[in-house]
Amino acid sequence: MAGGSASDIRTPFPFDEYLIEFGTFDIAASKSSDYQVDNFTVPFACRAVRCEVTATDVNVTNGITINIEDDTPTTPKVVVSDAAVAAITAGAGKSEALTVDRTKTIFAGAVLKCSYKSGASDDAENVKVRLWVEPVN
């Protein structure tokens, strides 16, 4: 069911933070609209706690942003909205925190989609996005 179901809010859940990983993927230049790279079906109702992106090389001239939202048809619940990714020197690697919306409840059964936008001349290699969530009971 798109967006999950509010009636499933009390599904079995872990007792601590739960890690959801998107990637590893490369970012191509000139993607002016959201380009989906990965998704994850949430087995329990949760809220985002924190998010980070890691990569081995990020070239930024105009901007790279990361988005994570659920699959609600008309108004998706966005937990990471156009979070900017800074440049990373080739081979150096880096972990960077992204801003998350901790107020939105993602229902059990919802599909979280990770996507990016990139400007001309902007690209990245070996990108992984990690989102920590906590269960809602």
pLDDT digit string (tens) for 35-71? Answer: 999 999 998 889 999 999 999 889 999 999 999 999 9
Q: What is the pTM of this model?
A: 0.90
**Domain 22-131 listed as CATH 1.10.20:** no
Instruction: Read off the DSSP letter of residue 9.
Output: T
As a whole number of Å, the CA-based R_g of the chain is: 15
Domain ranges of the chain: 22-131
Planar angle of CA 74, 75, 80, nearest 5 degrees:
140
Reported as a single tens digit per residue, the pLDDT across 67-89 is 999 999 889 999 999 999 998 87
Sign of CA dihedral 102, 94, 22, 123: positive
- CB atoms closer than 10 angstroms to residue 124: 23
The mean per-residue pLDDT over the stretch 13-41 comes to: 92
Is the pLDDT reported for residue 132 higher than 90?
Answer: yes
